Amino acid sequence: MQSLVLLIVSIGTVITVAWLVLNPRPPAFRLDSLSLSGLPTASDASSRPPGPHVRIQLTATNPNKKLGVVIQDVNLWLAKVHCKCQLPLLSPNHTALSEYPISKRSQEVLIFEGKTALRPCRGMRKKRPFQFPVGEAVMSVKMKVSVKFMHAYWPSKRMSVKVGCENLSLELSSSTRTGKLKDRGKDCLVRFA
């Protein structure tokens, strides 16, 4: 019995040391584009308008030399800067994958499309749904994902990663009810959760 316990502890120690040597780093993310369509108008404020359609394109880069990664369980939402309003992406497109594998030292383009929910903002006296301003808005794209790190000779390791693409200037058009990213894209902040 003692030898079995010693064997299990030894195997666990070897795997732990191996993962420390492999030093898994989270993928880097860059927001390439963000567009909105079907924005609610001021006349929609009295009723419950449907949320706008959102299309987000990100480039994910695997910085690891010895590890492949698989991005899984993507939870994505928009947030207005300096406000407690969050607009979760409700219905991602059916072509979206549930897993996004990225080889060592390579990158992959990720596209997410779907509707958002216009929920009331927390902290407001009147529970009104979020409204987009006319002309310009500063938004953030937030994401929480599960990342599986893989090596040919060791069991895989899974970690949660938080991603924040902050201070994105969106140009909003009330006549076409659309919005798009004004800048050419932005690197996102990434950290283990």
Cα distances (Å, whole numbers) of residue 160 to 46, 142, 163:
40, 14, 10
4/101: higher pLDDT? 101
Cα dihedral 179/185/187/192 (nearest 10): 40
Residues 6+ apart with CB under 8 A from 193: 144, 159, 160, 161, 162
Which tens digit of pLDDT belongs to each residue from 97-153? 689 999 999 999 999 998 887 666 665 555 555 667 778 888 999 999 999 999 888
Q: Do the domain assignments include residue 90?
A: yes
The token pair at 129 is 């749904």
Q: Do the domain assignments include residue 8?
A: no
Question: pTM of this prediction?
Answer: 0.84
| Of the candidates 139, 155, 154, 151, the residue with the CA atom closest to the CA atom of residue 34 | 139
181/84: higher pLDDT? 181
The token pair at 79 is 């947030």
Query: CA-to-CA distance for 140 and 37, rounded, in angstroms?
Result: 17
Which structural domain range is residue 188 located in? Answer: 26-192
Q: Do the domain assignments include residue 151?
A: yes
Above 80 in pLDDT, residue 15?
no
Q: Do the domain assignments include residue 1?
A: no
Q: In the chain, how many domains are there? A: 1
Q: Do the domain assignments include residue 172?
A: yes
Q: Do the domain assignments include residue 51?
A: yes
Kindly report the CATH number assigned to the domain that includes residue 178. 2.60.40
